[in-house]
Chain A
């Protein structure tokens, strides 16, 4: 266990970082540590947590905007939104069971990892809903980017740069998000399709319909596969669209309609990759490809590794569970590269995560720019060393 620094406010974060800079001592950055085992192990003796920076600082339901300190637990935010019939539209996954973490994610951690769930296919990722940030850079300055309004192109968009940077460029202290009304009703069409390729085509057909599909996932079944398409809106709209979509897709396989709580439970499970039912010793990858490439990726990996898969985002996101070996990881990297996609080694024992590239390598010109951007924000390499890539 590393030494833990837990400032109570933004000024405390600034102070902790300035002290670390003075000592040239790197810091692991986390909220509640629910995704500590994501990506590579961090090489730092001390950990800076934002858990002391907690609480919603602004919520204007009619302006569709919410600000919260970075350490605010996600359930607290979801509960506040639910009171006003609103939601975080990208529905970030709850990764506690995958990582065996006791504490819920913080909103800062959700933004720093840019993790989005099934609705991402329609409404965009967490980064698309990020309106503003306050963060402390690697020389201990508090920097703001964006703001609290929905449309803002003033200056470089550091929000998007920091989102998904896994705490390597700055320590988020407060985030402002666009929130949306939660749908009043939802329903899911479950289609029994002959296999993954037919399933992805069914998802594409659903997403190419005018009915506003907000979830499109697929899992292999005992025979063939099950494709799920979700509709969310006012009850009369959902009923109408489910009927139309069902008729349009009838030729693709038997269609079952799931409504209300049953539909909601299904998508919570898909969001959290529960159907993957990964054994604790398995590694888990998330592979992002164009949907039409997904059947090839699944064929190459599931068969070769004996792995299990779950597809989301219309087939564009392949969750894979398989043996935690370097050989399996090489196969994933090759499959992602062959389909010109991206991959993340999402969960694996630390020795494997430390030994392999957990994210795609970048071309030299981009890697050089990336190193300079890192130096522009964190010149002394204080934040999360080794988290995303091995030190050069």
Chain B
């Protein structure tokens, strides 16, 4: 289990006074302090960890956020920002002596400009909400994390969220123009804007993926893109993971960048097929879902090229969708992968390392060996184009030993990712989950350098002080 920093006794002792002060700053319905009503805020997508906060505030404006932050800063009170609470790494996990600042009431779309291809939205607008607001003109917001129905753009910015289509369209950082944020000392500042590449230090880039440690994002200016004429998927199944990996290399090497290139291993294929009845080949060791975009004729031409390439790798089956419905059927199993695994095992840990794509066969072999050694099942989904691996480790949460083994197994996988030249997290963030593994990837002085930048933004270490960096005294 990962330790949280000890609460400050003086803050806990002043709880009544602090709640009263927050009530003076915000409307009464924006301050939550009763145990029962705070319960939904004690955890996020990493449900193995729970911690009741000191209080929860739900501001409706940037000015209200700033007022709360100024008060907390002046009084040495820790703060934990929160969007929809979908983080898989514990990014929204509270502290006992912290005020949770929830952005979900800041859910207005402030501006949509199709000519300049941008939208200005508050932090609590959902990822899919942006696309919904612009799709009538054929536009969309590109990053598409699996949680896009629920997750909020403010959280996406803080975790630099990815998705299945980022091979072509990039992650959150590549799709932003500007932010409005409240600094840890309570100042309201804007970085970037409605234009590209603001001259000066790239605050926009540094803040993206900073996991709520450098400021509280309240407004986001995103780029919106015109969608393609159409998209279609194909499925290719192979006799071995190495063979599938070689097929991926050959596709990329041919100069084609598919809009999505997803890999599933045998356990994952079986779990998804049992759940979704998508027609996945059960005799395959590995399966690829490959999606291309363009007009129908362009899709045909690209899919033909890809089919030719796959045919060189002795595939078990190649199935090209001939309609949007067939594409959806191919995607159905993959999109339901987490639910499908949930059906086999009530609890699972979703890992998120990235590896050089050429290392996939070796890494899958090692994960298989670990699975046997730990006696825990694992299913692997992999964004094959960009090397982002999601092993789903199944365990039983009612058995503390099983959870401990799953955590240890997960940590061993992430160490392996770093060993082969990859990293601890591709898109879920470090949060609390991978915090104590940071020394696996970074030297002590490198972590000290990153901490010093946190200190530059937040000298008192009040904002999310328990995330990303192993607990030590602030520099």
Note all chain B residues with C-beta closer than 8 A to A62: 248-250, 252-253, 357-358
In the complex, are the beta carbons of B160 and A157 less than 8 A apart?
Answer: yes
In the complex, are the beta carbons of B422 and A237 less than 8 A apart?
Answer: no
Q: How far is the CA of A149 from the CA of B423 in the complex (A)?
A: 8
State which of B113, B183, B200, B208 has its C-beta within 8 Å of the C-beta of A362.
B200
Q: Quick check: is B446 within 8 A (CB to CB) of the other chain?
A: yes
Q: Quick check: is B118 within 8 A (CB to CB) of the other chain?
A: yes
In the complex, are the beta carbons of B468 and A155 less than 8 A apart?
Answer: yes
Q: Quick check: is B162 within 8 A (CB to CB) of the other chain?
A: yes
State which of A155, A159, A342 has its C-beta within 8 Å of the C-beta of B430.
A155
State which of A65, A114, A156, A240 has its C-beta within 8 Å of the C-beta of B450.
A156
In the complex, are the beta carbons of B189 and A366 less than 8 A apart?
Answer: yes
In the complex, are the beta carbons of A153 and B226 less than 8 A apart?
Answer: no
**Could you say which of A120-128, A250-258, A271-279 contacts chain B?**
A120-128
Q: How far is the CA of A63 from the CA of B359 in the complex (A)?
A: 10
In the complex, are the beta carbons of A156 and B210 less than 8 A apart?
Answer: yes
**Could you say which of A13-21, A45-53, A289-297 contacts chain B?**
A289-297
In the complex, are the beta carbons of A61 and B253 less than 8 A apart?
Answer: yes
Contact with A along B171-214 (1 / 0, CB 8 A): 10110000000010101011101111111111111101110010
In the complex, are the beta carbons of A149 and B387 less than 8 A apart?
Answer: yes
In the complex, are the beta carbons of B387 and A163 less than 8 A apart?
Answer: no
Note all chain A residues with C-beta closer than 8 A to B117: 204, 207-208, 314
Q: Quick check: is B427 within 8 A (CB to CB) of the other chain?
A: yes
Q: Which of A116-170 contact B (CB under 8 A)?
A: 116, 120-121, 124-125, 127-128, 137, 141, 143-145, 147-161, 163-165, 169
Q: Quick check: is A24 within 8 A (CB to CB) of the other chain?
A: no
Q: Contacts A148-B421, A149-B421 known; A210 to B138 CB distance under 8 Å?
A: yes
Q: How far is the CA of A127 from the CA of B196 in the complex (A)?
A: 12
Q: Contacts A157-B209, A237-B301, A342-B197 known; A210 to B226 CB distance under 8 Å?
A: yes
**Could you say which of B323-331, B335-343, B372-380, B453-461 contacts chain A?**
B453-461
Kindly provide the distance from the CB of A318 to the nearest chain B CB, expressed in whole angstroms: 10
In the complex, are the beta carbons of A288 and B255 less than 8 A apart?
Answer: no
**Could you say which of A188-196, A262-270, A372-380 contacts chain B?**
A372-380
Contact with A along B243-278 (1 / 0, CB 8 A): 000001110110111000000000000000000000
Q: Quick check: is B110 within 8 A (CB to CB) of the other chain?
A: no
Q: Quick check: is A228 within 8 A (CB to CB) of the other chain?
A: no
State which of A127, A150, A204 has its C-beta within 8 Å of the C-beta of B354.
A150
User: Which A-chain residue is minimally distant from B161 (CB atoms)?
Assistant: A153
Note all chain A residues with C-beta closer than 8 A to B427: 151, 153
Interface residues on A, range: 35 or more
Q: Contacts A207-B226, A237-B294, A373-B453 known; A313 to B196 CB distance under 8 Å?
A: yes
Q: How far is the CA of A343 from the CA of B205 in the complex (A)?
A: 18
Count the B residues whose beta carbon is within 8 Å of the partner chain — how many? Answer: 98
State which of A143, A149, A208, A341 has its C-beta within 8 Å of the C-beta of B446.
A143
Contact with B along A187-214 (1 / 0, CB 8 A): 0000000000000010010011110100
State which of A114, A155, A156 has its C-beta within 8 Å of the C-beta of B197.
A114
State which of A85, A164, A290, A366 has its C-beta within 8 Å of the C-beta of B194.
A290
Q: Quick check: is A96 within 8 A (CB to CB) of the other chain?
A: no
Q: Quick check: is B452 within 8 A (CB to CB) of the other chain?
A: yes
Q: How far is the CA of A71 from the CA of B427 in the complex (A)?
A: 31
Q: Contacts A156-B450, A369-B456 known; A344 to B421 CB distance under 8 Å?
A: no
Q: Quick check: is A317 within 8 A (CB to CB) of the other chain?
A: yes
User: Which A-chain residue is minimally distant from B114 (CB atoms)?
Assistant: A208
Note all chain A residues with C-beta closer than 8 A to B206: 156-158, 160-161
Contact with A along B326-368 (1 / 0, CB 8 A): 0000000000000000000000000000111110000000000
Q: Quick check: is A360 within 8 A (CB to CB) of the other chain?
A: yes
User: Which B-chain residue is minimally distant from A213 (CB atoms)?
Assistant: B226
User: Which A-chain residue is minimally distant from B421 (CB atoms)?
Assistant: A148
Note all chain A residues with C-beta closer than 8 A to B204: 160
In the complex, are the beta carbons of B196 and A125 less than 8 A apart?
Answer: yes
Output the residue of A128, A240, A366 with the most chain B CB within 10 A: A366
Q: How far is the CA of A137 from the CA of B448 in the complex (A)?
A: 12
Q: How far is the CA of A296 from the CA of B77 in the complex (A)?
A: 47
Q: How far is the CA of A120 from the CA of B174 in the complex (A)?
A: 11
State which of B139, B189, B205, B453 has its C-beta within 8 Å of the C-beta of A365.
B189
Q: Quick check: is B424 within 8 A (CB to CB) of the other chain?
A: yes
Q: How far is the CA of A145 from the CA of B442 in the complex (A)?
A: 9
Q: How far is the CA of A124 from the CA of B191 in the complex (A)?
A: 18
Kindly provide the distance from the CB of B246 to the nearest chain A CB, expressed in whole angstroms: 9
Q: Contacts A120-B196, A158-B450, A369-B456 known; A152 to B257 CB distance under 8 Å?
A: no
User: Which A-chain residue is minimally distant from B420 (CB atoms)?
Assistant: A149
Output the residue of A62, A147, A182, A317 with the most chain B CB within 10 A: A62
User: Which A-chain residue is minimally distant from B386 (CB atoms)?
Assistant: A150
Q: Which of B365-411 contact A (CB under 8 A)?
A: 383, 385-388
In the complex, are the beta carbons of B449 and A143 less than 8 A apart?
Answer: yes
Q: Contacts A154-B441, A240-B297, A363-B189 known; A124 to B174 CB distance under 8 Å?
A: yes
In the complex, are the beta carbons of A127 and B426 less than 8 A apart?
Answer: no
In the complex, are the beta carbons of A366 and B203 less than 8 A apart?
Answer: yes
In the complex, are the beta carbons of A288 and B199 less than 8 A apart?
Answer: yes
In the complex, are the beta carbons of B354 and A164 less than 8 A apart?
Answer: no
Kindly provide the distance from the CB of A210 to the nearest chain B CB, expressed in whole angstroms: 5
Q: Contacts A149-B422, A181-B256 known; A63 to B294 CB distance under 8 Å?
A: no
State which of B138, B199, B445 has its C-beta within 8 Å of the C-beta of A359.
B199
In the complex, are the beta carbons of B201 and A375 less than 8 A apart?
Answer: no
Note all chain B residues with C-beta closer than 8 A to A370: 200-201
In the complex, are the beta carbons of B193 and A342 less than 8 A apart?
Answer: yes
Q: Contacts A152-B354, A372-B456, A373-B453 known; A157 to B198 CB distance under 8 Å?
A: no
Q: Quick check: is B240 within 8 A (CB to CB) of the other chain?
A: no
Q: Contacts A127-B202, A153-B426, A369-B457 known; A317 to B174 CB distance under 8 Å?
A: no
Q: How far is the CA of A116 from the CA of B301 in the complex (A)?
A: 31
Q: Quick check: is B438 within 8 A (CB to CB) of the other chain?
A: yes
State which of A120, A240, A388 has its C-beta within 8 Å of the C-beta of B200.
A388
In the complex, are the beta carbons of B422 and A157 less than 8 A apart?
Answer: no
In the complex, are the beta carbons of B356 and A60 less than 8 A apart?
Answer: yes
User: Which A-chain residue is minimally distant from B441 (CB atoms)?
Assistant: A154
Q: Quick check: is A236 within 8 A (CB to CB) of the other chain?
A: yes
Note all chain A residues with C-beta closer than 8 A to B162: 151
Q: How far is the CA of A61 from the CA of B248 in the complex (A)?
A: 12
Q: Quick check: is A245 within 8 A (CB to CB) of the other chain?
A: no
Return 11 A-B CB contacts under 8 Å, by A number: A149-B355, A149-B426, A151-B166, A154-B423, A154-B425, A155-B468, A160-B173, A288-B199, A342-B193, A360-B199, A377-B449
- Residues of A at the B interface (CB closer than 8 Å) are 60-65, 85, 114, 116, 120-121, 124-125, 127-128, 137, 141, 143-145, 147-161, 163-165, 169, 180-182, 184, 201, 204, 207-210, 212, 234, 236-237, 240, 288-292, 313-314, 316-317, 340-344, 359-360, 362-363, 365-366, 369-370, 372-373, 375-377, 388
The 6 A-B pairs with the shortest beta carbon distances in the complex, nearest first, are A160-B205, A365-B187, A372-B456, A181-B255, A151-B426, A376-B452
- Residues of B at the A interface (CB closer than 8 Å) are 113-118, 137-139, 159-160, 162, 166-167, 170-171, 173-174, 183, 185, 187, 189-191, 193-206, 208-210, 213, 226-229, 248-250, 252-253, 255-257, 294-295, 297-298, 301-302, 354-358, 383, 385-388, 421-430, 434, 438, 441-443, 445-447, 449-450, 452-457, 459, 468
